[in-house]
A and B are shown apart, each in its own frame.
Chain A
Amino acid sequence: MASTSDAHDAVDSGRRAALVATGVVGGAGAIAAATPFVASFTPSERAKAAGAPVEVDLSGIAPGTMKTVEWRGKPVWILRRTPEMIASVKKTDERVADPRSLRTAYPTPDYARNELRSIKPDYLIVVGICSHLGCSPVGPLAAGSNATLGDDMGFLCPCHGSTFDLAGRVFKSKPAPDNLEVPPHRFLSDSLVLVGDDSKA
């Protein structure tokens, strides 16, 4: 009766196959069951829908000042640049990391892919969120008002000290890798801009 103890030790290949099959089916079931749980982490339909474009009236913005509006939960700045401010942008070309907005992490729309990063030189429209870790920079600061910014006009991020010129271009050797994002936008009239939508009607 030696075969009895062999039969105890030997693997019953039929049962092993059934075990493997059960394991595979069970594993597939576990993955299927996990899917809705992982999916629930993604933005809800309501969050996705809450991105409606915002109309902004430009008439109240005095030269040299800025208006902040909320678009998709983020601050969007509309800075009305003075001729002096526009001139300051020309002086920083050499010292900004991406003067022609060629990087693609936050693609700049074609109509703003110019030195001033705007449709109209007077109005800079950017998302006021630093491309480093998402703080909102402060500004516009006057030349010489801040040690980090030095003799340039621009914006300063309070979190990690990134600086941007008045076209939202990040200075070289700063924590932020990208220029401030230019949101899709179009002018509805001389004093009305639509932020969040640049499709021609």
Chain B
Amino acid sequence: MPLHKTEHKGVLGWIDQRMPSIMAEYKKHLSEYYTPKNFNFWYFFGSLAIVVLVIQITTGIFLTMHYKPDARHAFESVEYIMRDVPGGWFIRYMHSTGASFFFIVVYLHMFRALLYGSYRTPREMVWIFGCLIFLVLMGEAFFGYLLPWGQMSYWGAQVIVNLFSAIPVIGPDLSVLIRGDFVVSDATLNRFFALHVIAFPLILVGLVAAHILALHDVGSNNPDGVEIKETLSPSTGRPLDGIPFHPYYTVHDIMGLGVFLIVFFSVLFFMPEMGGYFLEWNNFIPADPLQTPSHIAPVWYFTPYYSILRATTEPFMVALAAGLAVYALLLFFTLRSRVAKYAVLAVSAVVIVLMVGGPLKLDPKLWGVVLMGASVLIFIALPWLDCSPAKSMRYRPAWHFWLLIGFVVVFLVLGYFGTQPPSPVNERFSQIGTLLYFAFFLLMPWWSRMGEFKPVPSRVTFAAH
């Protein structure tokens, strides 16, 4: 076979003649990946998420060199890393701070998608892979949280694994299968270590690759929600509003990274525990299977979903069933297909019976788990729920933007109440929050069409600086 014809000289030319895919991929994903030129602040968080992933993997490798996944030694090995291993405290704090920052960055990245409709056609696959990344990240964080074997590690794992036991019929056996024991024990710690260190990181890296490949197939969205591939230069055939990712956005992102690292290390050096939010106080007490701490709460990034779980009590089931009934009627009168109309009625009737139907009803505990799962998975449905004629909030009615902000507030309020001890006030606020949370998504097919839309331009808005 003859050598590949190359445009490069020297060593690079020699390599390119023999393995042309290196330069081909470099061009496809970097030097000739045309990116909208009007990116703003919100577009830093994708590359920052990759940086945090690299930080987590690197620090994680070094932590495993000293950590012992054994119920008798785990807690003390973490303290050993903190006190006796040279540089150990820095590596460990990078990992624990990195975990929280991973979620901060990912939440902001997701908010950007909601703001500019980045999940809309043709980017549904990008969005689905993104949602899967989010799910796997939650699993990864959960497994990792058991490893220090503190009180919060232990009881947090106890609560979350027991969520699975709420599933009818298979639940109790399933939770034993997950724990590998009848209680959270050394077997649980050992397998969570394996999942945290090998299985989930591999899945995560694979999903990130799929997310980026899917993105580069369709091209990036932008704050205007304009498809830059629709306006090509007649001479070059390249998008007129696009610039090569490298060097323009690599340099741009390095500036963003600089700001990010200032914030990251300020937290790491001055408040690594972040007032008990990044590292909870109770986790500095070794796990005690005989005593639950007087106040337990998950780490902050799980608390909105945890609030939804706690909100689901017996009296709340009536409100949920009523909400579902109203929603079913709404669907009945708006769906066109006859089959769909009656299918919706039938399915809703069955679910309502299972919610409040006397002897047939399932425990609120199970519904809490179902709602908590639904609150995360519902993000996947966004491309189909959002029916707005304009992708970007810039061209949607102003109140759509304020509705989105309202959703963020509900999310934060749920998050706040999830960190607090249970109380009647807490419960009521969480219930209202839960209803609003789901209403935002489930009513989106209606509200996203309403109001005055502004005309979407054919070119992006951009002022050269």
Contact = CB atoms under 8 A, between A and B. Distances in A.
Q: Are these two chains actual partners, yes or no?
A: yes
Interface of A: 41-44, 47, 51, 68, 70, 72-75, 128, 132-138, 147-148, 157-161, 172-177
Contacts, number: 101
Contacts of B310: 160-161, 175
A71 to B, nearest CB: 10
A43 B182 contact: yes
Contacts of B363: 177
Given A134-B158, A174-B313, A41 B423 contact: no
A123 B191 CA distance: 39
A73 B422 contact: no
Contacts of A160: 310, 422
A43 B423 CA distance: 37
A170 B202 CA distance: 44
A133 B294 CA distance: 15
A158 B176 contact: no
A73 B289 contact: yes
22 contacts: A43-B180, A44-B180, A47-B187, A68-B290, A70-B290, A72-B182, A73-B181, A73-B289, A128-B290, A133-B158, A134-B158, A134-B161, A134-B162, A136-B291, A138-B292, A148-B424, A158-B296, A160-B422, A161-B310, A161-B423, A173-B315, A177-B364
Report the interface size class on chain B: 35 or more
Contacts of A174: 313-314
A134 B159 contact: yes
B289 A70 contact: yes
Q: Name the residue among A41, A47, A157, A175 with the largest chain B CB count within 10 angstroms.
A: A175
A159 B159 contact: yes
Contacts of A51: 182
B150 interface: no
Nearest to A46: B187
A159 B293 CA distance: 9
Q: Name the residue among A133, A137, A157, A173 with the largest chain B CB count within 10 angstroms.
A: A133
Contact of A148 (B163, B182, B422): B422
A144 B155 CA distance: 27
Contact of A172 (B183, B314, B422, B423): B314
B296 A135 contact: yes
Given A135-B158, A158-B292, A175-B368, A43 B187 contact: yes
B191 A159 contact: no
Contacts of A173: 313-315
Given A132-B365, A173-B313, A158 B293 contact: yes
